[in-house]
């Protein structure tokens, strides 16, 4: 049951910061009036702040804790989003008075402050000059929350729970805190020893109302630090249960070489209703020098985890990546489709590596999926050109799209060479029959499901199958069958999946778009016959009369034509955008490897040279690799 509480100095200070940020007003009298008339409410885990359909007209600020928005649908309850410290609930209700559109529930013990419409109106009446500024600020914030630029909710309290032997959680959290400190964050490390020394021995979990000394102490620390890293290092479950109860996220730490079965401790500590379960991340620590993770599916199949992250022991770049992901600073790399023009992606990757820019998640469509597989497997440095040249120029299989069908009943191209090339790529950089979930960096590809008529995001299963599926142009290549469904090139729906990268939790996004803004008009009244066009093709380039694409290229272009408008719109949500020149490179001309690679690299280096150091800092490790 929620209870009204008195405001402490720390709570008032946080509310003051929230008022400045959300209303855009720094007037002390305006703030003072609102603070004196605000209502501070403490909610216990599982308690509702508002219910769908409630006819109320106040705004709430979450000062501590973690809330979740839920929507009831005919098929069940849907999670709409997470609400973290400093965020608001119900801003528009101040103006519209419309019923609440969703339930908002406390995922852990929380403190929210309520400001009624009446209080805000009185505050504005006392200071009429702020009215327009407040209104504009609320509208702007509403627009922000409804576009892809809205940053992910950052977890404040994170519990690190070792689930196997052989992991040094103390050293891990110390390093993560040190990395965050380099970014200006103040992290408090809390283990069972800290609790005993500060609050006395914990005889039983402090998870019930009224809150005990430890629970109140954690809330007070939450107001003083950017993040609390709670280390559940005790064999006694009292502290781990208390830590998890007060967490925004639980990070399971495991030795990747250990038994992947779920432990009884996990079952006990993480037993919660799905609507109340906090985000759970699995971190698998691999021995130094590991070529590639393997059999990750065995860890994931029976666990209810939100995501998993692979790191190599004593490999600092991996710890930097983990730190960014946990602190809401993850960097995503998105590669668009475009056939052989996607070879420019490889030059871009080389330029990013040369400039010291890094990324944590990789997503791509079609050719972007193919090139993205190298990035996801952590192929970098000189190996980028070395390994990819072997696939696209020196492959024993030949040109990956030149195995034409003599009888093109299902497709113009057999697709066998593309499969063989991808399998060889994955075997060289990972292992044979490698799964998507075994890539060093989180990896997804976009495909079009012709059975369900929907866009499909592929994140698990055999990597070579998923990548080829994403690049299987309808009519050009045969479909890929996944679970009995026909899967084709993802460009039909989403050729530049920036939106999915945001949903994955990327705060910053690097995008490589192959779509040209140039419009080429043909100076002819009607298209020539197929025979005339074919004859023209054999003339010297300067003497050709027709500049029409051949059938395979037309089919490839047809797969993305309906998604071009969406692709152009998604560019607006990229933090660093590359648009390498691709003129002269046809959609199926893989022999242009050298030209495309260099064009991509030169363009990327030019773009990066024009960016300021402060922007680039967000895309770099705190220490060189």
Q: Which residues contact 524 (CB under 8 A, 6 or more apart)?
A: 546
Question: What per-residue confidence (pLDDT) applies to 273?
Answer: 55
The enclosing H or E element of 445 equals strand 442-449
Q: What is the mean pLDDT of the chain?
A: 88
Q: Are 567 and 513 in contact (CB under 8 A)?
A: yes
Residues of the chain with CATH 3.40.1090.10: 331-516+552-618
Where does the pLDDT of residue 270 fall: very low under 50, low under 70, confident under 90, or very high at 90 and above? confident
Q: Give the separation between CA 506 and CA 525, rounded to whole angstroms.
A: 48
Residues of the chain with CATH 3.40.50.300: 157-327
Neighbours of 174 (CB within 10 A): 15
pLDDT per residue over 370-401, tens digit each?
A: 999 999 999 988 889 988 888 887 777 667 77
Q: Give the separation between CA 188 and CA 194, rounded to whole angstroms.
A: 10
**Where does 9-146 sit in CATH, by number?**
2.60.120.10
Question: What per-residue confidence (pLDDT) applies to 484?
Answer: 93
pTM of the full predicted structure?
0.89
Higher-confidence residue: 597 or 520?
A: 597
How is residue 205 written in tokens?
Answer: 């979990």
Q: Is pLDDT of 81 > 90?
A: no
Count of H helices and E strands in the chain? 23, 21
Where does the pLDDT of residue 78 fall: very low under 50, low under 70, confident under 90, or very high at 90 and above? confident
Q: Give the separation between CA 580 and CA 510, rounded to whole angstroms.
A: 13
Neighbours of 305 (CB within 10 A): 15
Active centre residues (catalytic): 366, 489
Q: Inter-axis angle of helices 9-23 and 213-224, to 10 degrees?
A: 40
Residues of the chain with CATH 2.60.120.10: 9-146
How is residue 344 written in tokens?
Answer: 């420019």
Q: Give the separation between CA 464 and CA 472, rounded to whole angstroms.
A: 12
Count of alpha carbons within 13 angstroms of residue 475, beta-carbon side: 10
Fold of 157-327: Rossmann fold (3.40.50)
- The answer regarding whether domain 331-516+552-618 maps to CATH 3.40.1090.10 reads yes
Average pLDDT over residues 352-359: 97
∠ CA 495-407-534, nearest 5°, is 70
How is residue 448 written in tokens?
Answer: 């079009």
């Amino acid at each position: 049951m929620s209870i009204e509480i008195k405001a402490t100095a720390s709570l008032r200070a946080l509310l003051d910061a929230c008022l400045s940020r959300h209303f855009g007003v720094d007037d002390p009298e305006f703030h003072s009036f609102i603070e004196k008339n605000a209502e501070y409410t403490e909610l216990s885990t599982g308690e509702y702040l508002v219910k769908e359909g409630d006819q109320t007209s106040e705004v709430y600020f979450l000062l501590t804790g973690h809330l979740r928005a839920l929507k009831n649908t005919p098929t069940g309850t849907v999670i709409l989003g997470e609400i973290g410290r400093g965020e608001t609930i119900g801003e528009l209700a101040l103006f519209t008075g419309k019923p609440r559109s969703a339930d908002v529930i406390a995922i852990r013990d929380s403190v929210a402050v309520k400001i009624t419409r009446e209080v805000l109106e009185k505050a504005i009446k006392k200071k009429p000059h702020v009215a327009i500024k407040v209104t504009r600020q609320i509208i702007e914030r509403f627009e922000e929350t409804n576009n892809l630029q809205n940053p992910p909710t950052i977890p404040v309290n994170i519990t690190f729970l070792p689930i196997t032997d052989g992991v040094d959680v103390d050293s891990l959290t110390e390093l993560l805190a040190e990395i965050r400190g380099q970014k200006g964050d103040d992290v408090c490390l809390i283990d069972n020893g800290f609790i005993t020394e500060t609050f006395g021995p914990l005889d039983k979990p402090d998870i019930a109302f009224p809150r005990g000394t430890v629970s109140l102490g954690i809330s007070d620390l939450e107001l003083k630090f950017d993040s609390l890293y709670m280390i559940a290092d005790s064999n006694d479950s009292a502290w781990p249960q208390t830590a998890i109860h007060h967490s925004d996220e639980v990070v399971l730490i495991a030795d990747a070489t250990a038994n992947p079965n779920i432990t009884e401790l996990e079952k006990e500590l993480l037993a919660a209703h799905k609507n109340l379960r906090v985000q759970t991340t699995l971190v698998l620590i691999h021995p130094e020098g590991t070529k590639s993770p393997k059999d990750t599916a065995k860890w994931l199949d029976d666990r209810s985890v939100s995501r998993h992250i692979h790191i190599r022991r004593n490999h600092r770049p991996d710890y930097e990546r983990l730190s960014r992901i946990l602190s809401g600073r993850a960097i995503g790399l998105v590669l668009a489709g475009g056939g052989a023009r996607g070879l420019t992606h490889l030059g871009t990757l080389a330029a990013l590596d040369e400039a010291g820019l890094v990324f944590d998640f990789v997503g791509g469509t079609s050719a972007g999926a193919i090139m993205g597989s190298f990035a996801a497997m952590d192929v970098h440095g000189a190996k980028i050109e070395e390994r990819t040249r072997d696939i696209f120029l020196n492959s024993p299989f030949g040109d990956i799209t030149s195995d034409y069908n003599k009888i093109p009943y299902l497709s113009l191209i057999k697709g066998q060479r593309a499969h063989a090339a991808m399998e060889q790529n994955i075997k060289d950089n990972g292992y044979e029959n490698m799964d998507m979930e075994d890539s060093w960096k989180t990896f997804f590809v976009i495909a079009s499901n012709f059975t369900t008529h929907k866009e499909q995001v592929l994140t698990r299963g055999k990597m070579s199958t998923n990548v080829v599926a994403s690049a299987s142009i309808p009519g050009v290549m045969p479909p890929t069958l996944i679970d009995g469904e026909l899967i084709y090139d993802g460009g039909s729906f989403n050729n530049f999946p920036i939106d999915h990268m945001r949903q994955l939790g990327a705060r910053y996004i690097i995008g490589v778009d192959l779509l040209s803004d140039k419009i080429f008009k043909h100076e002819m009244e009607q298209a020539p016959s197929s025979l005339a066009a074919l004859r023209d093709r054999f003339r010297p380039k300067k003497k050709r009369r027709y500049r029409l694409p051949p059938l395979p290229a037309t089919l490839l272009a047809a797969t993305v034509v309906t998604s071009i408008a969406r692709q152009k719109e998604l560019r607006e949500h990229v933090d660093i955008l590359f648009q390498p020149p691709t003129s002269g490179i046809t959609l199926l001309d893989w022999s242009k490897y050298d030209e495309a690679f260099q064009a991509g690299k030169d363009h990327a280096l030019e773009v990066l040279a024009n960016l300021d150091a402060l922007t680039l800092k967000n895309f770099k490790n705190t220490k060189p690799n």
